[in-house]
Amino acid sequence: MDFSGKLFEAKAQTALGNELINKYRTFVVANPATCATVNNFLREARNLSYDSGVQALVESLATTLQENKFGWALASVCESISSSNHRTNYLQLKAVEQVQPMLEMKEDEIVSYIKSGALKNVMYVEAFRNIARAIYREQPVVEYSEDFVAVHPVALVEQVEDSYYFHTAGRIFRTNKEGIFEASRKDVSNEFLVVSSMLESQVVKYTDNALEMKLGERTYKVYTENEETKCSITLEGKTTVYTVDQLRENNNYFVAAAPASQKAQRSALLEGFAKIVENFDKIAILNNVSVISNKNDRFVVIENNGHAYARLLQSNHCQPWEVKNDIAKVCESIKKYTRLDITKNYTAAIDNAVAEAKEKEGQAIKENLEKDAIEQRKQRIAELTEKFKDDPVRLKMLSEVAAELNNL
């Protein structure tokens, strides 16, 4: 990955970007770069999407991570357990010893190895169990820890004026600079509803930067090649690439050949996939949304511009809960309900929220002081006006000063 080398080649475009880059440059000069170092950098850089220099570095790292996402996940967990203060946990350390040889393998070998049951002897470790589940389900799991797994869902994002709509955890949400809001079906297009239903039902699955749907012996796939959206059908080992119009024509033949009892369902699925192809450039992994789970709880967290929303999806020990506040307070509430500390996933966002709160508080104090000063000056002008009521020159001067104060 050459994280250190890329750090020193990076050229940030903003003051905050330079601050972040220099912070990690200083760190890697004195310390070896680890999985945790890279993961923390990516987490913080997520809040600097407006800095093209920082994002160029993020994209360079993300390319490597995407190509090795499960190997990286295993390495991150092994490192986290090995460096943990809980060195009395003999079983977890023994599990790491069994997994470490896999880190020398290539990504496709790791996936095949795990699918064949390579992790079955270490499934008592929650993090390894979650990685295995992710491979079986082929979900775009991005972040792991020894305490929980966080899945960033794939969804269609629809923009309406200055708001962005997406569907996750069974609900439609709208985000803008003001915060996070729940939306209704009437706020979005019919295509949004069809595509979102296909994605969330797992009829269509994300794998290797593509979306796939299996229907009988056929595998439908949509992907990007040379910045162009393409779709294909694989049947009996032969893959054919289609345009959207050709796909729909093929769909018509396939539906016509189906038994009467299957025509309606098959037609709906195939048209839904055609709509996914048409909207593929609007479909993304939602980095601001995490579905977090461990053996006790499963909940969704949405973060946007310092605001946050979280809701329980499933639990074996507590009643339903839902919270909406700034990201720091939402993390506090989640810890209270689930005993899970997820603040490390939102360190940069929390720092920004705290800094913003301090700035707003300081601005309010400043405005109050200025207001008090203006009122005192107005009072002084009133006193001087009374004192010099028979002096036209001084009254004119006082009138001009009063007019300036009114403008303030």
Sequence-ordered list of residues with C-beta below 8 angstroms from that of 166, at least 6 positions apart, any chain: 155, 156, 157, 158, 172, 173, 175, 196, 286, 289
B/e letters for 19-45, b = 16+ CB within 10 Å, e = fewer, are ebbeebeebbeeeebbbebbbbbbbbb
Cα separation of 123 and 111, whole Å? 16
- pLDDT at site 137: 56
Cα separation of 150 and 39, whole Å? 13
CB pairs under 8 A, 24+ apart, for 35-39? Answer: 35/72, 35/75, 35/76, 35/79, 35/80, 36/76, 36/79, 36/80, 36/83, 37/3, 38/1, 38/3, 38/65, 39/76, 39/143
Q: Which pair of tokens denotes residue 276?
A: 């996914």
Low-confidence ranges of the chain (pLDDT < 50): 139, 141
Cα separation of 250 and 266, whole Å? 12
Cα separation of 141 and 311, whole Å? 19
Sequence-ordered list of residues with C-beta below 8 angstroms from that of 381, at least 6 positions apart, any chain: 398, 401, 402, 405
Q: Nearest to residue 179, comparing CAs of 193, 162, 196?
A: 162
**Cβ burial, residue 366 (10 Å; 0-12/13-18/19+):** exposed
**What are the residues facing 181 on neighbouring strands?**
174
Residue 218: what are its φ and ψ, rounded to 5°? -100, 145
Q: Which pair of tokens denotes residue 146?
A: 């020894």
- pLDDT at site 274: 95
**What are the residues facing 219 on neighbouring strands?**
214, 234
CB atoms within 10 A of CB 401: 14
Cα separation of 26 and 34, whole Å? 14
Cα separation of 39 and 65, whole Å? 10
The pTM of this model reads: 0.56
β pairing state of 158-160 and 154-156: unpaired
Q: What angle do CA 299, 139, 57 make, to 5 degrees?
A: 95
Cα separation of 162 and 329, whole Å? 26
Cα separation of 28 and 389, whole Å? 73
Cα separation of 322 and 300, whole Å? 10
- pLDDT at site 284: 85
- pLDDT at site 185: 93
